[in-house]
Amino acid sequence: MNLAELLSPKRVIANMKATEHWPAIEELVDHLISNGDLSSDKRTPVLAAFRDREDQCSTGIGAGIAIPHAFMDDIDEVIAVFGRSNEGIDFCALDNAPVHFAVLFVVPRSQYTLHLKTLAAIAKKLNSGDVRNNLAEATSEEDIIRIFADPAPARV
């Protein structure tokens, strides 16, 4: 799976405003709603799903990365959004470092295997320091998508 298949320029926030864990999740979800990728009537249940997941353990995995994810009924495919924070977000990450890159995604409840594949693809791509450096230097949403589409962590 390639992250560029889940994302598009309209599913990218190049400069997130939130500086705290929960407001960052709300900002990402609201971005999906404002783009029409998620209906507004799903806001409350999807945020509840994320709250349940985050109450188990923060999805801030370290190295400046967070991967908030949840299951939802009434969706047919994975819905994802990428957010970049130049300032950094206090995401209660495992290493206590601020998060600069967040990929939030929602998966149909019936598709657990797809959930694992999506999580693995995101973690694998963002595990590369070159990819994270390229994402930090990207000047547009299109550049960010090209970085995710590139099978190698080439410089922008």
Confirm whether 115 is a catalytic residue: no
Q: Which residues contact 135 (CB under 8 A, 6 or more apart)?
A: 84, 101, 144, 147
Separation between Cα atoms, residue 37 and residue 80, nearest integer Å: 9
Q: How many CA atoms lie within 13 A of 112 on its CB side?
A: 0
Residue pair 137/14 in contact by the 8 Å Cβ criterion: no
**Token code pair at residue 3:** 């992250």
Separation between Cα atoms, residue 38 and residue 154, nearest integer Å: 32
Of the residues 31, 69, 100, 115, only one is catalytic, namely: 69
Active site residues per annotation: 69
